[in-house]
Amino acid sequence: MATKSRIAAIYGSLLILVLATVVATPNAAATTPSPGDPVVVAVGDIACAPTDPEFNNGLGTPGHCRMKTTSDLATQISPTSVFMLGDAQYNSGSLADFNTSYARSWGRLKPITRPAIGNHEYGTHGGGGYFSYFGDAGTPQQPGCVKQCNGWYSFNVGDWHVVVLNSECTRISGGTGCAVGSPQQQWLAADLAAYPAKCTAVLQHRPRWSSNSFAYADVAPLVDTMYRGGVDLLLAGHSHSYERFAPQNPSGARDDANGIRQIVVGTGGSFYSGFSTVMPNSLVRKSQIFGVLKLTLRPTSYDWAFVAAPETPFTDSGTGTCH
């Protein structure tokens, strides 16, 4: 009898283990990323000029020129794509500086980089250094263009549609910049209508909102167009800090149902900038930080996680649902 009792106890334990496994497995699977969900890295404001006193043979110093450190972080993530948010190369975006500084750090990720042009790139006439370095990747609608190119385009990654804009409104050829009726605004409206994806992101250098002097009202007509077109996520740089906003409408009012979530990631390594008056709906802010934003792009949602350099520890992560 004792033997039968022991056998019954053993079978009972095995049954409990099997049931626990069956119950636990679906929950675990629900929180595990699908192998098909693209992982991308987003960041801007990256490489110092070789003549910068803090360049230090490309390694930088504390608080300056940490492009090698941030590129190491990106490489370790092994992203599907890099979303470069402008000001890739300080101080004037010359081709010589791109080849000597940016190429030595982030250049290893160039084949998967989707770049947006920034204000410092226009330190070289017509953005010639930027367009020459990135080639058709920087202006795919104008193959072979190396100066005064449009710099706006779109592409798909996974189930997402991604739009890259030129937020240097006063530099755009033709003089109409980012205004209503401008070539870029009309193209953006048509592009969003042609690709009604469930999830859409926009990349540009200058943010619409920022808790310092870097907010840029000139892009407001583009943000209006984004909102009407159902854009979910706006990624920008320019401010050398990290700031995440709640979803907002073009007027800056919180709109959890249809709003655009803006995240500023100007933490690519060049140098720091801080904050002043905190804007409404700014949920998370961090200055004196270097690192990259890791995004997992799911069919109907996205995860974000800031990956900080070891010298500036900081975390921010969460999940957003597409409209």
What would the pLDDT profile of 122-150 be if each residue is shown by its tens digit? 999 999 999 999 999 999 999 999 999 99
- Give the integer Cα–Cα distance in Å for 244 and 150: 28
Predicted confidence (pLDDT) at residue 16 exceeds the cutoff of 70: no
Mean pLDDT computed over every residue of the chain: 90
- pTM for the structure as a whole: 0.89
| Residue ranges covered by each domain of the chain | 1-31, 38-321
Predicted confidence (pLDDT) at residue 27 exceeds the cutoff of 50: no
The predicted-structure confidence for 79-122, as pLDDT tens digits, reads as follows 999 999 999 999 999 999 999 999 999 999 999 999 999 999 99
Please give the structure tokens belonging to residue 128.
């010639």
Portion of the chain with pLDDT greater than 70, in percent: 89
The band of 173, judged by pLDDT with boundaries at 50, 70 and 90, is confident
Please state the rounded mean pLDDT for residues 179-189.
96
The closest of 153, 117, 157 to 133, measured between CA atoms, is: 117
- Give the integer Cα–Cα distance in Å for 153 and 313: 34
CA 23 to chain centre: 37
| Residue that wins the pLDDT comparison between 176 and 231 | 231
Predicted confidence (pLDDT) at residue 5 exceeds the cutoff of 90: no
Predicted confidence (pLDDT) at residue 22 exceeds the cutoff of 70: no
Say if residues 42 and 264 touch (Cβ distance below 8 Å): no
Please state the rounded mean pLDDT for residues 298-320.
97
Q: What is the pLDDT of residue 309?
A: 97
The domain covering 38-321 belongs, at the CATH homologous superfamily level, to Metallo-dependent phosphatases (3.60.21.10)
HEC profile of the chain: CHHHHHHHHHHHHHHHHHHHHHHHHHHHHHCCCCCCCCEEEEECCCECCCCCCCCHHHCCECCECCHHHHHHHHHHHCCCEEEECCCCECCCCCHHHHHHHHHHHHHHHHHHEEECCCCHHHHCHHHHHHHHHHHHHHCCCCCCCCCCCCCCEEEEECCEEEEECCCCHHHCCCCCCCCCCCHHHHHHHHHHHHCCCCEEEEECCCCCCCCCCCCCHHHHHHHHHHHHCCCCEEEECCCCCEEEECCECCCCCECCCCCEEEEEECCCCCCCCCCCCCCCCEEEEECCCCEEEEEEECCCEEEEEEEECCCCCCCCEEEEECC
- Give the integer Cα–Cα distance in Å for 308 and 164: 25
Say if residues 183 and 245 touch (Cβ distance below 8 Å): no
The predicted-structure confidence for 265-283, as pLDDT tens digits, reads as follows 999 999 999 999 999 999 9
